[in-house]
Copies of this chain bind each other. A is one copy, B any other.
Amino acid sequence: MTKTYQIVGIGNAIVDVLSHCDDAFLAEHGIEKGIMQLIDKERAVTLYNRIGPALEVSGGSAANTIAGAGQLGGRVAYVGKVTDDQLGRIFAHDLRAQGATYETVMAPPGNGAETGRCIVLVTPGGERSMNTYLGSSEHLDPADIDEAMMADAHWIFLEGYRFDGPDSHAAFARAIAATKSTGGKVAITLSDPFCIDRHRDAFARMLREDVDLLFANRAEMTSMYETDDFEAALERAATEVDIVVGTDSENGATVVSGGERWHVPAVPTDVVDATGAGDLFAGAFLWGLVNGYGLETCTRMANVAASEIISHIGARPEADLKTLFSRHGLL
């Protein structure tokens, strides 16, 4: 059966505020390097007043994934909440401009939360330290999950970060049930080791019971299975999940599925800004999968897409990904 949507992503709808700083700035402001930390509105304002000039670009982990799959021509949709303010309209525009369906009702502007944003501080070398004010994105609740859309999707893609916030677990449960009711499948990214610490039990249950495809990097995979051994964590995950994809930065990615495994080297690239590399990896992988490519080819596509993202500022692709795939002999 062909469904309307190949992939529907659900996540925190966020506009990135990208700025450069040095390690001393991170230390001075108590920012942990290289991870995502949640901040409240007051700290968002204080921190913004201290950072240098910035540029604003639509982000959000699953939204980046969907934007990537959309740019590739995938039939994709996104569910995530913004406020009906200028940043919310920017977020909506940028997603629809990649061909994604995006119909989540916006929160009313005024006294409530504004559109969420992430102050991304890029240090020399391209590592990013993320400071996320969730804003209205944390108020995505079960009523925002359109069951008909989920039932009409081959895959849903769940963002680990979206486990933060009230009602998020109930919203995911509703989405999963509707998707599975018509034979759809569930992919998830663990997003961040600290996010795993906050929601370990919920992740564990979902991996055992619901998830068909898991994306996690070395830190996340080992955190999830509470081991220092990446390989052991991959094997353990493979006992629970059909397709396990473990990424390991410049060491490439490993897929384990159906008793087989493939290791695919990373595409060497000068790192300008690592923001979104994992998101686009997932977007390209899923696009390959729903278009019938084998797991190894999907992983090669994913590595090419990740290398595109880290070669420039911003977490959405600038180059045409299909052209890059052709250049690498993948199409």
A residues adjacent to B (C-beta < 8 A)? 20, 48-49, 51-58, 67, 85-87, 90, 93-94, 97-98, 114-115, 313-314, 316, 318
Q: Which residue of B lies closest to A56 (CB)?
A: B56
Complex copy number for this chain:
2
- 22 CB contacts below 8 A, A to B, read A20-B318, A48-B93, A49-B93, A51-B97, A52-B97, A52-B98, A53-B58, A53-B93, A53-B97, A53-B98, A53-B316, A54-B90, A54-B94, A54-B97, A55-B55, A55-B56, A55-B57, A55-B314, A56-B57, A56-B90, A86-B114, A313-B313
- Most chain B beta-carbon neighbours within 10 Å: one of A20, A56, A93, A115: A56
CB neighbours (8 Å) of A314 from chain B are 55
Separation of A74 and B114 alpha carbons in the complex (Å): 35
Separation of A151 and B273 alpha carbons in the complex (Å): 44
Q: Which residue of B lies closest to A67 (CB)?
A: B53
CB neighbours (8 Å) of A90 from chain B are 54, 56
Separation of A115 and B90 alpha carbons in the complex (Å): 14
CB neighbours (8 Å) of A316 from chain B are 53
CB neighbours (8 Å) of A20 from chain B are 318
Q: Give the contacting residue for A85; candidates B86, B93, B115; CB below 8 A.
A: B86
A94 CB to nearest B CB, Å: 4
Separation of A86 and B48 alpha carbons in the complex (Å): 13
CB neighbours (8 Å) of A57 from chain B are 55-56
Separation of A114 and B109 alpha carbons in the complex (Å): 15
A244 CB to nearest B CB, Å: 31
A323 CB to nearest B CB, Å: 13
Separation of A114 and B85 alpha carbons in the complex (Å): 11
Separation of A115 and B56 alpha carbons in the complex (Å): 15
Separation of A58 and B55 alpha carbons in the complex (Å): 7
- Most chain B beta-carbon neighbours within 10 Å: one of A54, A87, A316: A54
- Most chain B beta-carbon neighbours within 10 Å: one of A48, A55, A58, A98: A55
8 closest cross-chain pairs (CB), A and B: A56-B56, A55-B57, A86-B86, A53-B94, A53-B97, A52-B97, A86-B87, A53-B316
Q: Which residue of B lies closest to A312 (CB)?
A: B313
Separation of A58 and B17 alpha carbons in the complex (Å): 12
CB neighbours (8 Å) of A54 from chain B are 90, 93-94, 97
